[in-house]
Amino acid sequence: PLNIARRRGLQPPPGMTVERFLEAVDELRKELAGPADLIQINDESVDLVDGWYLDKPATTHDAFHVADPENLASSAVIFPRSTADVQAIVRWANRHTTGTGDKARGIPLYPISMGRNLGYGGAAPRVPGGVVLDLGRNMHQIVNLDGGNASCVVQPGVTYFALFEAVQKLNESQPEQPLWIDTPDLGGGSVLGNAVDRGVGYTPYGDHFGNHCGMEIVLPDGSLLRTGMGALPGPDGSDNPAWQSFQHSFGPSVHGLFSQSSLGIVVQMGFHLMPAPPAHQSYCLTFPREDDFSTIVDVIRPLAQRGVLGNIPQLRHVVQELNVTGQPRETFRTKGSDSKKPLTPEEVHAAASKLALGDCSWVFYGTQYGATQQALEDQLADVTKAFASAIPGTRLVLPKDVPADHYLHARALVCAGVPVLRELDWLNWVPNGAHLFFSPIAPTRGEDARALHDLIRQLHAEHGFDLFPTLCVAGREMHYIANIVYDRSDSDQKQRAVRLMRAMIAACAARGFGEYRTHLLFADQVARTYSWGGQALLRFHETIKDAVDPRGVLAPGRSGIWPAAYRGEGWEL
């Protein structure tokens, strides 16, 4: 891991002196009355250690920094033990203000669950000197696991691995209805954290926020709110019996306000769990030509709309057959070509032809679910026929056809709700590998897919990066995920990656393609692209933010939403 010695000492929250900040922290220490390590002060004695995904990911800064890591370093990290601790911390942040009138602001708090969030900003606060609330370390209970209702309630520190284990145990006790969890590509993240950030997985329950059911939230004034049926108390002080059964309650729906949001700290969240299907089958389809791309998307559309495809499949460019081997880029380079440059298309195809799937241009990773093996075979025959009749050279590949270390086996696990870590292998592509995600949404339509892909491809080439397109394609929309992999010890690569991101955000927005999620440094630019009606959406977000969080204590700047006390003061990037 990179270890960055501090050049600056402790950065207090903006507008506060170090002395005042340390006095405030002393006051909080007394109030929480916990062990000394409940609060960590990030002074000059604390180096910025990037850490490693599983072993102590950084809580001091963004481990995958694209700028000077000290610019996004926190002043302190607090590890609350309970909802009451979180409430006390939020009230404390409101008490210690700087500025007056509508410019009065409290101590900025940035909640994280596990703080991995790699490629989107890690555990960094948006405002330097912000205080990180690491909820995951001490709040990691599975509060409820209801086999009959097929649901669970988790605290922020419950990882996909932990939930998976607990559900496996439950399944032993109810073999008549085994349950699955849904996991994203990497299993070490927080179930709650990923869902509030609207992350996705790959079983039919892959829309993580869509499959949540009920939250308990600490609001910016320190009070508590329950969403969904939880707002109606159960008998004798119990939780509402339908809290994990019905997502809505009465009146305007508010739960969406707490996703990608700075309006509350989620301390408990319910989720539906999928009854395990009796049979499932993962597979690949390969397509020979680069130009097959838009036809592939057009074939997926009706299949996905009709529910013939079992899950949200991934369409990946064949270059990703190279990086999932975990080999560095240089392994695949033709001797004599420039090692600073992306691989050429010829190098990619030459290398791919030596791998298990053979040379091709696009690889579709799908999974079918069904009641019987026969049902799966019928589905698979229909799907293959639909592609093969539109695209000459379509080839079906099953897990039994590829070696044990092929990526298809990892995909098969993820698509059956089993958490894995395989995607970490990407990071070997370049030395000190880090990545940044660019993830716009487009309609599932060949011509849009083509336009988006051409824009992104051209800009990657101009800025000198390998392009790694993965498309998660549903019936009406697709998430195009381009993962920019760079060496985080190389400032030129970092600056180029930032320029590439900014250029893609602008060029894609001009065509109507917007990001579903972004790294915290690009949130302002992305928020501005959602400009319909004279920036009506951002204005509405600001109105709510000012009403709910008048001192701007909760995650100022998150999703490009700045509290009144910060607006127009030069914070927006």
Least distance from ligand ADP to the Cβ atom of residue 117, Å? 3
Q: Closest separation between CB of residue 555 and ligand ADP, Å?
A: 6
C-beta of 40 vs 384, nearer to ligand ADP: 40
Stretch that binds ligand ADP, among 189-197, 374-382, 441-449, 507-515 (CB under 6 A): 189-197
- Which of residues 92 and 465 has its CB atom nearest to ligand ADP in the complex? 92
Dihedral sign of CA atoms 367, 373, 379, 384 in order? positive
Q: Which is nearer to ligand ADP, 115 or 550 (CB)?
A: 115
Q: SS3 of 339, please?
A: coil
- The DSSP 8-state label assigned to residue 11 in this structure reads -
CB 358 within 8 A of CB 352: yes
- Smallest CA-to-CA distance from 520 within 478, 480, 573, 467 is with 573
Q: Which stretch binds ligand ADP (CB under 6 A): 30-38, 166-174, 187-195, 484-492?
A: 187-195
**Tokens 């302190």 — which residue?**
76
Using the contact rule CB under 6 A, the part of the chain among 113-121, 224-232, 305-313, 368-376 near ligand ADP is 113-121
Which stretches within 331-372 are classed as H helix? 345-352
Give catalytic status of residue 517 as yes or no. yes
- Going by DSSP bridges, is the β-strand pair 179-180/469-473 parallel, antiparallel, or unpaired? unpaired
- Whose tokens are 């954290």? That residue is 193
Choose which of 51, 106, 128, 189 interacts with ligand ADP (CB under 6 A): 189
Whose Cβ is closer to ligand ADP: residue 123's or residue 285's?
Answer: 123
Question: How far lies 342's CA from each of 145, 273, 319, 455, in Å?
Answer: 48, 42, 11, 17
**Catalytic annotation on 91?**
no
**Of the candidate residues 13, 119, 157, 193, the single one contacting ligand ADP (CB under 6 A):** 193
Pairing of strands 76-78, 131-134: parallel
> Which of 32, 135, 152, 564 touches ligand ADP by CB under 6 A?
135
Provide φ and ψ at 278, rounded to 5°: -60, -35
Residue 234 has φ and ψ, to the nearest 5°, of -80, 175
Residue 180: count other Cβ atoms within 10 Å of its Cβ: 21
User: Known catalytic residue: 516?
Assistant: yes
CB neighbours of 107 closer than 8 A, spacing ≥ 6?
Answer: 13, 16, 21, 24, 92, 93, 96, 131, 553
455 near ligand ADP (CB under 6 A): no
Q: Is 525 in the site for ligand ADP (CB under 6 A)?
A: no
Is 439 a binder of ligand ADP (CB under 6 A)? no
Contact (Cβ atoms closer than 8 angstroms) between residue 137 and residue 80: no
- Is residue 48 part of the contact set for ligand ADP (CB under 6 A)? no
Contact region with ligand ADP (CB under 6 A), list: 114-122, 206-214, 232-240, 355-363: 114-122
Nearer to ligand ADP, 116 or 317 (CB): 116
Least Å distance, CB 111 to ligand ADP, is 4
Candidate list 127, 152, 265, 473; residue touching ligand ADP; CB under 6 A: 265
Under the criterion CB under 6 A, does residue 106 sit at the interface with ligand ADP? no
Q: Does 156 bind ligand ADP (CB under 6 A)?
A: yes
Nearer to ligand ADP, 215 or 296 (CB): 215
Cβ count near 79 (within 10 Å): 22
Nearest residue (CB) to ligand ADP, 130 versus 204? 130
Minimum separation from the CB atom of position 90 to ligand ADP (A): 11
Cα torsion through 59, 60, 61, 63, rounded to 10 = -50
Contacts with ligand ADP by CB under 6 A: the residue count is: 19
How far apart (Å, rounded) are the C-alpha atoms in residues 572 and 563? 11
Runs of H (alpha helix) within 330-440: 345-352, 373-390, 407-414
Among the listed residues 445, 516, 528, 530, the single catalytic one is: 516
Q: Does 386 bind ligand ADP (CB under 6 A)?
A: no
Please report, as residue ranges, which positions from 531 to 570 form the binding site for ligand ADP (by CB under 6 A): 558
In the complex, minimum distance from the CB of residue 469 to ligand ADP, in angstroms, rounded to a whole number: 22
Residues 78, 134: contact at Cβ < 8 Å? yes
The residues assigned a catalytic role are 120, 516-517
Binding site for ligand ADP (CB under 6 A): 111-117, 135, 156, 189-190, 192-194, 196-197, 265-266, 558
